[in-house]
Structure 1
Amino acid sequence: MTRTETEESDVKAKPADHVKIFDTTLRDGEQAPGFSMATDAKMVVARALEALNVDIIEAGFAAASPGDAAAISAIASEIKGPTICSLSRLNDKDIEASAKALEPARHKRIHTFIGTSPLHRDAKLKMTKDEIIEKIGRLVAFAVPLCDEVEFSPEDAIRTERDYLIEAVNTAIEAGATTINIPDTVGYTTTEEIADLFRFLKENAKDADKVTFSTHCHDDLGMAVANSLAAVRGGARQIECAINGIGERAGNCSLEEAVMALETRKDFFGLGTQIDTTKIYPASLALSRVTHNPIPRNKAVVGKNAFAHESGIHQHGVLANKRTYEIMDAESVGMPANSIVLGKHSGKHAVRARAEALGFKISPQKVEDIFPAFKKLADTTREVSDAQLIKLVTGNSVVDGRVGPWRMRRTELRIDMEEGTKPYARITLEHDSGEQHTVTHEGAGPIDAAFAAVCAITDVSGVIKTLDLHHEAEEGVVRADAVVTVDGRDYAGKGKEVDIADAAVAAFVAAINQAAAVRAGLGVVESEAAAS
Structure 2
Amino acid sequence: MVQSIHIFDTTLRDGEQSPGVNLNQLEKLEIARQLEKFGVNVMEAGFPASSQGDFDAVRTIARTVRNVSIASLARATKSDIDITWEALKEAEAPRLHMFLATSPIHMTYKLKKSPEQVIQLASEMVRYAREKFPVVEWSAEDASRSDLGFLAQIIEKVIDAGATVINLPDTVGYATPEEYGRMFRYVKEHVPNIHKAVLSAHCHDDLGLAVANTIAAIENGATQVEGTINGIGERAGNAALEEFAIALAIRRDQYPYSTSLNLKEIKRTSDLVRKLTGMTIAPNKAVVGQNAFAHESGIHQDGVLKHPQTYEIIDPSMVGIESNELVLGKHSGRHAFKDKIHQLGFSLEDEKADEAFKQFKLLTDRKKEVTDEDLFTILTDIQTSVSDVKKYELLAYQVQSGSMNLPTATIALTTPEGIRVETARTGKGPVEALYNTLEALIKEDIHLAKYQLSSVGQGRDALAEVHVKMTVNDVKVSGRGSSQDVLEASAIAFLNAVNRVFYSQNTKVLQTANS
TM-score of the pair, normalised by structure 1 = 0.67
Q: Which amino acid aligns with 2:227?
A: C
Q: Say whether residues 1:45 and 2:31 are aligned partners.
A: yes
Give distance in 1, aligned partners of 2:482 and 2:194: 57
* Aligned equivalent of 2:360, options 438, 441, 448: 448
Shift of 1:292: 1.7
Describe how 1:467-482 pairs up with structure 2 within 5 A.
467=374, 476=430, 481-482=455-456
Aligned CA distance change for structure 1 residues 16 and 314 (closer, same or farther; 3 Å): closer
Give distance in 2, aligned partners of 1:179 and 1:216: 12
The equivalent of 2:188 in structure 1 is 202
The equivalent of 2:371 in structure 1 is 464
Q: Which amino acid aligns with 1:31?
A: Q
Shift of 1:281: 1.0
Shift of 1:187: 0.5
Q: Which amino acid aligns with 2:165?
A: T
Q: Say whether residues 1:79 and 2:65 are aligned partners.
A: yes
When structure 1 is superposed on structure 2, of 81-90 and 139-148 the one drifting more is 139-148
Aligned CA distance change for structure 1 residues 311 and 152 (closer, same or farther; 3 Å): same
Q: Which amino acid aligns with 1:447?
A: Q
Gaps of 5+ in 1: 1-14, 340-356, 359-421, 424-441, 485-490, 508-532
Q: Which amino acid aligns with 1:166?
A: A
Shift of 1:295: 1.9
Give distance in 1, aligned partners of 2:270 and 2:258: 20
Q: Is the 8 A contact 1:18 1:272 kept in 2?
A: yes
* Aligned equivalent of 1:91, options 74, 77, 82: 77
Shift of 1:241: 0.2
Q: Is the 8 A contact 1:61 1:69 kept in 2?
A: yes
Aligned CA distance change for structure 1 residues 75 and 493 (closer, same or farther; 3 Å): same
Give distance in 2, aligned partners of 1:243 and 1:495: 24
Give distance in 1, aligned partners of 2:482 and 2:137: 46
Aligned CA distance change for structure 1 residues 481 and 87 (closer, same or farther; 3 Å): same
Shift of 1:270: 0.5
Runs of 4+ in 1 over 3 A off after TM superposition: 442-447, 452-455, 473-484, 491-502, 504-507
* Aligned equivalent of 1:308, options 294, 303, 312: 294
The equivalent of 1:503 in structure 2 is 485
Give distance in 2, aligned partners of 1:16 and 1:88: 33
Q: Is the 8 A contact 1:465 1:483 kept in 2?
A: no
Shift of 1:449: 2.8
* Aligned equivalent of 1:494, options 436, 448, 462: 462
Q: What SS is found at the alignment partner of 1:26?
A: coil
Shift of 1:481: 3.7
Q: Which amino acid aligns with 1:448?
A: F
Aligned CA distance change for structure 1 residues 326 and 66 (closer, same or farther; 3 Å): same
Q: Is the 8 A contact 1:495 1:506 kept in 2?
A: no
Q: What SS is found at the alignment partner of 1:154?
A: strand
Shift of 1:493: 4.4
Give distance in 2, aligned partners of 1:31 and 1:242: 11
Q: What is the aligned length? A: 380
Shift of 1:492: 8.2
Q: Which amino acid aligns with 1:240?
A: E
Give distance in 1, aligned partners of 2:429 and 2:298: 35
Choose 1 or 2 for highest CA Rg: 1
Give distance in 2, aligned partners of 1:447 and 1:284: 24
The equivalent of 1:409 in structure 2 is none
What are the superposed Cα offsets for residues 184-238 of structure 1, whole Å, 9 maximum, x if unpaired? 1111111111111111111111222221100111111111111111111111111
The equivalent of 1:174 in structure 2 is 160
* Aligned equivalent of 1:214, options 182, 193, 200: 200
The equivalent of 1:60 in structure 2 is 46
Aligned CA distance change for structure 1 residues 443 and 190 (closer, same or farther; 3 Å): closer
Give distance in 2, aligned partners of 1:292 and 1:483: 16
Shift of 1:105: 0.5
Q: Is the 8 A contact 2:2 2:256 kept in 1?
A: no
* Aligned equivalent of 1:187, options 156, 173, 184: 173
Q: Is the 8 A contact 1:24 1:240 kept in 2?
A: yes
TM-score of the pair, normalised by structure 2 = 0.69
The equivalent of 1:278 in structure 2 is 264
Aligned CA distance change for structure 1 residues 308 and 124 (closer, same or farther; 3 Å): same
Shift of 1:36: 2.4
Give distance in 2, aligned partners of 1:317 and 1:492: 31
Shift of 1:130: 0.9
Report the aligned-residue RMSD.
3.0
Aligned CA distance change for structure 1 residues 91 and 482 (closer, same or farther; 3 Å): closer
Q: Is the 8 A contact 1:479 1:495 kept in 2?
A: no
Q: What SS is found at the alignment partner of 1:269?
A: coil
The equivalent of 2:151 in structure 1 is 165
The equivalent of 2:16 in structure 1 is 30
Q: Is the 8 A contact 1:61 1:68 kept in 2?
A: yes
Describe how 1:308-347 pairs up with structure 2 within 5 A.
308-336=294-322
Describe how 1:106-121 pairs up with structure 2 within 5 A.
106-121=92-107
Aligned CA distance change for structure 1 residues 68 and 479 (closer, same or farther; 3 Å): closer
The equivalent of 1:135 in structure 2 is 121
Aligned CA distance change for structure 1 residues 178 and 496 (closer, same or farther; 3 Å): closer
Give distance in 2, aligned partners of 1:34 and 1:505: 22
Q: Is the 8 A contact 1:480 1:494 kept in 2?
A: no
What are the superposed Cα offsets for residues 472-512 of structure 1, whole Å, 9 maximum, x if unpaired? x996469674559xxxxxx88436799964438999xxxxx
Give distance in 1, aligned partners of 2:33 and 2:128: 31
Give distance in 2, aligned partners of 1:52 and 1:495: 27
Give distance in 2, aligned partners of 1:171 and 1:222: 33
What are the superposed Cα offsets for residues 240-299 of structure 1, whole Å, 9 maximum, x if unpaired? 100010111110011111111111111101111110000011011001111122222111
* Aligned equivalent of 2:112, options 96, 120, 126: 126
Shift of 1:463: 4.1
Q: Is the 8 A contact 1:111 1:151 kept in 2?
A: yes
Aligned CA distance change for structure 1 residues 482 and 165 (closer, same or farther; 3 Å): closer
Q: Is the 8 A contact 2:164 2:198 kept in 1?
A: yes
Q: Is the 8 A contact 2:455 2:464 kept in 1?
A: no
Percent identity over the alignment is 41
Aligned CA distance change for structure 1 residues 196 and 480 (closer, same or farther; 3 Å): closer
Aligned CA distance change for structure 1 residues 122 and 505 (closer, same or farther; 3 Å): closer
Q: Is the 8 A contact 2:464 2:483 kept in 1?
A: no
Aligned CA distance change for structure 1 residues 66 and 443 (closer, same or farther; 3 Å): closer
What are the superposed Cα offsets for residues 428-480 of structure 1, whole Å, 9 maximum, x if unpaired? xxxxxxxxxxxxxx97465323224358xxxx7x54321369xxx99646967
Give distance in 1, aligned partners of 2:460 and 2:77: 54
Give distance in 2, aligned partners of 1:448 and 1:256: 31
Q: What SS is found at the alignment partner of 2:322?
A: coil
Q: Is the 8 A contact 1:479 1:494 kept in 2?
A: no
